[in-house]
Amino acid sequence: MLYFESPEIDGKYYQVFIKEFKDGKLIDSKILFDGTEVDYFKINLPVFSFKIFTQISKNNLQVQLRNKKYGSAKKDFELTENSSEYVTKDFFGAKIAIENPLNKEFPLLAIITPTIHSDGSGSYCQVVQSDIAPEKLGEHFKIPHYFLITMKFE
């Protein structure tokens, strides 16, 4: 569950995007959910939440946003790496909350394969808990294919 709390989100709309990266480069960006389309999606409280569902099977990733009243269309993406190695991770680490700017896009989740160390071991947490900009994770950690789910309030 992604949970947002601020008096500043009351009356705002929101958009959620999914971005695909290969070999450190952005290759695709799609709107997962566009809450600016109709007033029904306007946030009308200082507290707001939704869930992002990811399903990985064979060589396919399926992503959908859902909250109590509505859901987005399901988006499908082809996976280029071993599908059993992709996991969905947040950027919280040990933090309870993260402050994000309004009116600016910010990362919510990463769907990644691990970074592989010289001894053959791998790590997911090292990637998402680093200070590396989410758009640079593939380049820095040599992750050949990954996705970012981002959000923006308007």
Output the six-digit token pair for 115: 């970074």
> pTM value?
0.94
Predicted pLDDT of residue 87: 96
Provide the pLDDT confidence category of residue 94 given band limits of 50, 70 and 90: confident
Per-residue pLDDT of 6-45, as tens digits, reads: 999 999 999 999 999 999 999 999 999 999 999 999 999 9
Residue-wise pLDDT tens digits, 124-144: 989 998 989 999 999 999 999
Give me the pLDDT at residue 93, please.
76
What is the CB neighbour count within 10 angstroms for residue 35? 25
Q: Is the pLDDT of residue 51 over 80?
A: yes
Give domain limits for the chain.
2-153
Rounded Cα distance, 118 and 126, in Å: 14
Q: Which residues contact 2 (CB under 8 A, 6 or more apart)?
A: 49, 50, 51, 52, 108
- 90-122 burial, b at 16+ Cβ within 10 Å, e below that, comes to bbeeeeeeeebeeeeeebbbbbbbbbeeeeeee
